[in-house]
Amino acid sequence: MTPPLDALRHGLLAPVRTVSATPPVQLNLADVLDGEVVRIAGALRQTGMFDDLKRLILDAVEACASPHARAAVAADGVERLHDHLDVHQVLLLRKRLATGLADHSFALTALLVNALRTQPRPVYVCGRVYVRIMMPEDVVAQYRAMLVREAGFMTPHGPHLDSWFSQGRNAVNLWMAIGRVSPGNGLLFYPKRYGEGLRRVGEAGDPAQYVGRPGGVCLEPADTLVFHGDHLHATEVNITDETRFVLTTRISLGPPRYRHRGTGWVPYYDLRLLGTPLRRFASLRSRLTISAARQAIGAARRAIRFRPGTAAR
């Protein structure tokens, strides 16, 4: 894939290695945890999931807008989604897809993971699909108040590490392009700070620290970008005239290792046990962690605090 001339001229591209999606995909997840960023060209087509995903998205467009909007998006591509749905409809679409794709998360992730070469350790999967729809900035700017909880999903998220939130320190992102991703509407990496200690303020990086010049990415529809969740990365403010539409999920090489001060907790499942009589134990290694216990205690305290009829103290 030839990147846009402007991207080359301004040095905006992150160092990304491209591999073929033909199994076995020549990608070692241990190298990704060492900082390599890899584009698997046409991965969703190779697994046979791309057309099914587009059909699910179009079904949701029709449910959230109209049959006419479905036909228009089918003809123009998801890059023109903002021409046919307003921001309220896109928010409804994102939430509807997040719920609808939950039933497909394990199958989708397994297809991608099983296409890889044999890995040095067992792979655990997150079991969630995150829908990220970034419309052009001039479309969404006036809706910031309404989208205050949509950082990283419909509005930009500043530089961060995923393990600051609910993910493991050995989590690997599978960033799946449904539409075209270009410099100006994609993902930014800050490679100079990979593997270094970073200060944070709450769930965001300390804006006073130096992080270096970022690089963006170029993806074609059906490509999958694979990178370590603890690469410092951020959402690029969409200065293009296209909507950027991606689905993401996460896996880990070996049982997830959660940060002790991370916020929240997400279970990971041993891929070897899913689809077997032992599937109920697939998330056991993930649940026997301090992070899982902290999440359970916090949930119990909130339930007691907000129990109907409980007097405030």
pLDDT at 235 over 80: yes
At 299, the pLDDT band (50, 70, 90 cuts) reads confident
pLDDT at 285 over 90: yes
At 25, the pLDDT band (50, 70, 90 cuts) reads very high
Average pLDDT over residues 275-294: 94
* Reported pTM: 0.92
- What average pLDDT does the structure give for the chain? 91
For 160-185, write each residue's pLDDT tens digit.
999 998 899 999 999 999 999 999 99
Q: According to the model, what pLDDT value does residue 296 have? A: 87
Name residues whose C-beta falls within 8 Å of residue 156's C-beta, 6 or more positions apart in sequence.
Answer: 134, 234, 235, 236, 237, 238
Q: According to the model, what pLDDT value does residue 301 have? A: 86
Average pLDDT over residues 254-263: 86
Q: Are 3 and 25 in contact (CB under 8 A)?
A: no
Least confident of 61-70, 75-84, 282-291: 282-291
pLDDT at 250 over 90: yes
Q: According to the model, what pLDDT value does residue 3 have? A: 40
Of 94, 229, 97, nearest to 170 by C-alpha is 229
Question: DSSP characters for 106-134?
Answer: HHHHHHHHHTBPPPSS-EEE----EEEEE
pLDDT at 298 over 90: no
CB-CB neighbours of 193 under 10 Å: 18
The alpha carbon of 313 is separated from its chain's Cα centroid by a whole number of angstroms, namely: 40
pLDDT at 90 over 70: yes
Hey, CA dihedral for 176, 182, 186, 190, is it positive or negative? positive
